[in-house]
A and B are shown apart, each in its own frame.
Chain A
C-alpha cells in the first residue's frame, strides 16, 4: 500500500541524488527528493560532469557553468616567485623550464600518457562496474568488450594500467620528474581526500581518477555549479530540511520517515545518495550478517577540513597550492597516521564565483590550532578563515584499489542494489565514486530502470 503520490523517493539533493531523480522522472516516475539541509551548500561541485549527463538533463539551459581557470594552478617557489601552470601545454613547458629544463622536456609526453589512461577510466565510469562473477553471456561479452577497448588503445596502455594503477604517486612522479615543487603539486592530487601518503600504493590510481574529464595537462578536478543547475531543472519535487530514514518491512523498502516531523512518505522504490553506512546500518541488516560486516568495514575516514578564506582584495590566482614536495606531503600524512592534525598540512585555496574555498589535509580533529597553522602558512589572520573538519570522507568511501569497481561500495553489491528489495544506492559511495558528480547517479538510475 504505497503512497499514491510517488513512485520513488530519492534521499539527498546532491549532484548524484538529483541526477538519479531526474533520470527516473524522465522515465515517467513520480519522484520526490528529500534533503536534510534547509539551504543548498554554496560550495562548488568538484569533478568531471560527464557530457552525457549534461546533454540528457539539459543542464546547459539550467545555467550550468563549468570553470576553466587559466592558469589552473599557482604554487610558491622556495626561492620566491611562483610556478604557474597553464591549460596550454606549451605555456606550461615554458613555466617549468624556468625551474627544470629536464622536467619541461618531459611535460608534454607525461600529459599525453596520463590523458590516455584517464580516458580508459572515463569509459569504465559511465557504465556499471564489470561483474566478474557473472556467468551471463551478455555480461561476459561486455567485459570482453571493455578489455578489447583497452587493448585497442595500444600495448603500452595495457602495461601502463597494470603498472601504474597499483603504484604510489611518488614512484610514478619520481620516474618522470626531478623538481620538488612540480612533484608536490601533482602528488597532492594523488592523495586528494585520501588517508594515504604519496608513498602509499594506489595513490597513482587516485591521481588518474581525478584527472578523468580534464583536458590534457590539467591536473585538478573541474569545478562547476552542477548541483545548482540540477536543482533548477524541473520535473522533480525537492523537500529540504527533511532528514530521512529508510523504512523496510519483510525485506522490502516501503518508504522513508522524516526525522523532525515524523511524517512518513511511502513508495516502493527508495534510492539513497547518502553514505552507504548511514543508509544501511539503521535498517535491520543484521539479518544479512556478511553484508553488514562488509558495510561496517567500508573505510571512509575524513582527513580534510574545508571552509572559506576572506580577503580584502580578490587574489591573482585561481588555485593556490601549498604542497612544496612529496616529502612535505608524506610528513603531513605521518601526523595523521598517529591521529594528529598535520603540523604542516597540504593547503589549497580555490577561487570560485568570488568565493575563496580552502581545503586542508590531513586533519584528524581540527582543533583550534588548525586555523592558526593554516593562517600562518597562508600569511593571513586566523579570523579570516572559517574551517570545518569532516569526520567522514567526502566520498563516502576512500578511493583505494580495494574499494573501487566491483568492490564498491561493498564486494558483490556493486550494482547499486542492496539486500533490501526496492532500496538502491546512488551516491559517491558507489561506483565510480566521488569527484565525478552525476556519474554514479546516472549509472544507478539506468540500473534501476
Chain B
C-alpha cells in the first residue's frame, strides 16, 4: 500500500492551501473531498440551468496576500472584481449610500449628518490602522499564556511589545474593539442611526449575537482586514464565483504534485499507539500516511473522525464546549430582470446593482431580527446583504437575466420544532417579502429560488450546525483558545494528526491563514 507523506481531509479552501504548501515543499500529498467538487463552502454551482451561484460564501477579501503570492494564484485563474458600493434602503424611502469615490461618500454622509461626515474619515483611519495592527497576529501561531516554555514566553513578550508599540490611544481602541458591542462602539463615533446599523451589521455576520451584544465590535474589525483597495469595505467577487478561488488553489496544489480525490469521504482516522497512521474512507478503503491533516471543523475533526478514547478527557470536554450555533442562511435567486428599489428608482444609473444592498435600515431593526433568533425563530424581518454578481461578472447568468445572492441573518440552526421543508419555505418567504417591501415588484421577477438554512449548510458542506466560520468568532474562542486551550497550534493530542480548518486560529472567511499556518507547523515538525 502506498504511504503518503500527508493526507488532507477536506477539500475546502483551507485544506487545499495546506496541501499546496506541503506539496510545494516536496511532500507527497493526497486531498480527500467527500463531495464531487472541491471548495467546501467556497463553491460555484449552476443551480438552475444557465444561472451560476456562489452557493454559500460569496465575497472575497480576507484571502491572505502571501498565499496569493506564494501559490501564484492569478496564474491559476484567480481574478478578483471589486465590489464598490453599499446602498442601505431606509424605511422612510430615503437611503444611505457609500460609493467607491471617497468624496462622493462624504457628500452623501453630509446629507444625513455633517457631524458624521466629519467623524467618518477619522473613524476610517482608526479602523484601517487597527486592522493593520491586528493583521500580523493573523499570521502568527498563538503563544500559550499558560505555558512556561521558552517559545511561548518569547511569543508572549513579542506580542506584548507589539501592542505597546501601538501607543496608548490605539491600544485603548483595541481593548474597546475586543470587548464592546458594535452598537456601543459606533455610538461613540456617529449619530446617524442607519449608518450605525449598516456598519454594525458587519459585526454580527456569522455570530449568534445582536449589534448590542458585547463582542460584536471585534467582528467589525475582523471584516475590516480586507486587503483589496477600497474605502467603505474592501470586498470583491472572484470571477466565476467563489468556487473559482478554490479551483485556483486546487490547480496550484496539483501543479506542485498534490493529488486531489473527490467523492472520497473519510469516516475515520486510523490511530495506532497514540499516533495517526492513515484514514478509512466511507467505502471502507484504507489509506496510509505519515501525517493526517483535518481541515474539517473541530467537532468533526475530533469527535467524529477519532474515538474519544484516543483523546484526553479534558480536551474532549473543551471540544464539546466549543460553540457553533449557526445563525445565517442564504437565498439564491434567478431573476428575469433587475428589481427597482423604492429608495433609488433610477438605480443611480445601475450603480446600485453593481454594489451591495444592505437591508439594515436601523439598529432596532437588526436588533429585533436577533431577538427572534434568540428565542428559536428565524427573523421575520431579517438583516440581509444582497449582491447581484451577474452585474459584475456577466458569465454568471444568461444574457439579460441576473443572479441575486442574499445572505440572511438570523436563521438559527436550533429552530423551535426543528427545520422542515415547510419551515424552509416560510423562511424563504420572509426573505422575499422583506425585499419586496423595499423593492415592490421584485417577486414578479423571480424565476427560481434556492433557500439554504443552517441545517442545509451542515448537510451539504459538513460545517457543524451550519456555522460559516467553523465555530463562532467569540472572544473566548479566539487565539490561544481556538479551538481549545493548549491546542491552538495546529497540532493535536494525537501524534501525526493536525488541524487546519477555520476552527483554528485565526479562523473565518475565505482567508486561508489557518491552512497556511498548519502547513508551516507540519513542515517545522519535520514531518
Interface residues of A (CB under 8 A from B): 132-133, 151, 155, 158-159, 162-164, 166-167, 171, 175, 196, 199-202, 290, 297, 299, 327, 330, 334, 337-338, 400-402, 407, 411-412
Q: Given A163-B476, A166-B215, A402-B180: A171 and B481 within 8 A (CB)?
A: no
B175 touches A166 (CB 8 A): no
Residues of B within 8 A of A338 (CB): 364
- Contact of B179 (CB < 8 Å), options: A166, A290, A412: A166
- Contact of A162 with B213 at beta-carbon distance under 8 Å, contacts A402-B180, A407-B175 already known: no
User: CA separation between A203 and B523, bound complex, in Å?
Assistant: 42
Assembly CA distance A257 to B140 (angstroms): 56
Q: What's the Cα separation between A424 and B171 when bound, in Å?
A: 24
A368 to chain B, nearest CB (A): 25
Contact partner of A297 among B145, B164, B188, B480, CB < 8 A? B188
A167 to B475, CA, bound (A): 8
Within 8 A of A (CB), among B352-391: 364, 367, 371, 374-375
Partner of B323, one of A151, A171, A290: A171
Cα(A164)–Cα(B171), bound, Å = 22
In the complex with contacts A132-B164, A338-B364, A412-B172, A163-B485 CB distance below 8 A: yes
Give min CB distance, B310 to chain A, whole Å.
22
Question: Across the interface, do B213 and A401 meet the contact criterion of CB distance under 8 Å?
Answer: no
- 9 new A-B contacts, CB < 8 A, other than A401-B179, A411-B176, are A133-B168, A151-B146, A166-B214, A199-B374, A201-B214, A202-B215, A290-B169, A400-B179, A401-B178
Q: Is the CB of B175 within 8 A of A175?
A: no
Distance from B67 Cβ to chain A, minimum over Cβ atoms (Å): 29
Q: How far is the CB of A118 from chain B (nearest CB, A)?
A: 18
How far is A330 from B168 in the complex, measured between Cα atoms in Å?
Answer: 36
B184 interfacial contact with A, CB 8 Å: yes
In the complex, which residues of chain A have a beta carbon less than 8 angstroms from the beta carbon of B163?
132
Pairwise interchain contact A159-B146, C-beta atoms closer than 8 A: yes
Q: Are B213 and A199 in contact (CB under 8 A)?
A: yes
A163 to chain B: closest residue by CB: B476
Given the complex, which residues of A lie within 8 Å of B480, measured CB to CB?
Answer: 162
Q: Please indicate the chain A residues that have their CB under 8 angstroms from the CB of B164 in the complex.
A: 132-133
11 contacts between A and B (CB under 8 A): A132-B163, A133-B171, A151-B146, A163-B481, A201-B209, A201-B214, A201-B215, A297-B188, A401-B214, A402-B184, A412-B169
A431 to chain B, nearest CB (A): 14
Q: If A132-B164, A327-B375, A400-B179 touch, does A162 touch B214 (CB 8 Å cutoff)?
A: no
Which residues of chain A have C-beta atoms less than 8 A from B364's C-beta?
A: 338
The complex places the Cα of A166 from the Cα of B217 at a distance, in Å, of: 13
In the complex, what distance in Å separates the CA atom of A204 from the CA atom of B211? 19
B172:A162 contact, CB within 8 angstroms: no
How many Cβ-Cβ contacts under 8 Å join chain A to chain B?
83
In angstroms, how far is the closest chain B Cβ from the Cβ of A58?
Answer: 39
Q: Choose from B168, B172, B475 the contact partner of A201 (Cβ within 8 Å).
A: B475
Residue numbers in B under 8 Å from A401 (CB-CB): 178-180, 214
B485 with A159: CB separation less than 8 A: yes
Cα distance A327–B416 in the bound complex, in angstroms: 14
Chain B residue contacts of A159, Cβ below 8 A: 146, 481, 485-486
B321 sits at the interface (CB 8 A):
yes
- The answer for the CA separation of A23 and B289 in the assembled complex, in Å, is 70
Complex CA–CA separation, A375 to B7 (angstroms):
67
Interface positions, chain B 154-210, Cβ under 8 Å from A, are 163-164, 168-169, 171-172, 175-176, 178-181, 184, 188, 209
Bound: A167/B180 CA distance, A: 12
B305 at interface by CB-CB < 8 Å? no
Nearest B residue (CB) for A407? B175
Q: A200 to B180, alpha carbons, bound, how many Å?
A: 10
Within 8 A of A (CB), among B393-421: none
What 4 pairs across the A-B complex have the smallest Cβ distances? Answer: A411-B172, A401-B179, A166-B475, A201-B215
Contact of A400 with B180 at beta-carbon distance under 8 Å, contacts A201-B213, A201-B214 already known: yes
A418 to B323, CA, bound (A): 42
A164 B476 Cβ-Cβ under 8 A: yes
Neighbouring A residues of B175 by C-beta, 8 Å: 402, 407, 411
The answer, among B169, B178, B184, B213, for a CB contact under 8 Å with A299, is: B184
Tell me, in angstroms, the Cα distance from A171 to B213 when the chains sit together: 13
Known A132-B171, A175-B321, A201-B474; judge A402-B485 contact (CB<8 A): no
Give complex CA distance A330, B180 in Å: 19
Partner pick for A200 among B176, B213, B321, CB 8 A cutoff: B213
Which residues in A have their C-beta under 8 angstroms from that of B213? 199-201
A226 to chain B, nearest CB (A): 31
CA distance A407 to B176 in the complex (A): 9
Chain B residues whose C-beta falls within 8 Å of the C-beta of A334 in the assembled complex: 371
CA distance A330 to B372 in the complex (A): 12
Shortest C-beta distance, B208 to chain A (Å), equals: 9
Closest to A147 in B: B145
Q: Roughly how many angstroms separate A412 CA and B375 CA in the complex, as a whole number?
A: 40
Q: Is B212 an interface residue (CB 8 A)?
A: yes
Cβ-closest chain A residue relative to B477: A163
Whether A166 lies near B168 (C-beta < 8 A) is no
Using A299-B184, A411-B175 as known contacts, say yes or no to A167 and B214 having CB atoms under 8 A apart: no
Chain B residues, Cβ within 8 Å of A412: 168-169, 172
Q: Report the bound CA distance from A330 to B374 in whole Å.
A: 9
Task: Give Cα A132–Cα B163 distance, bound, in whole angstroms.
Answer: 10
Question: CB-defined interface of B483-502 with A at 8 Å, one 1/0 digit per residue?
Answer: 00110000000000000000
Q: Shortest distance in angstroms between A41's beta carbon and chain B's nearest beta carbon? A: 30
Within 8 A of A (CB), among B445-496: 474-476, 480-481, 485-486
Nearest chain-B residue to A398 (Cβ)? B184
- Whether A202 touches B188, Cβ cut-off 8 Å, given contacts A401-B179, A407-B172, A411-B175, is no
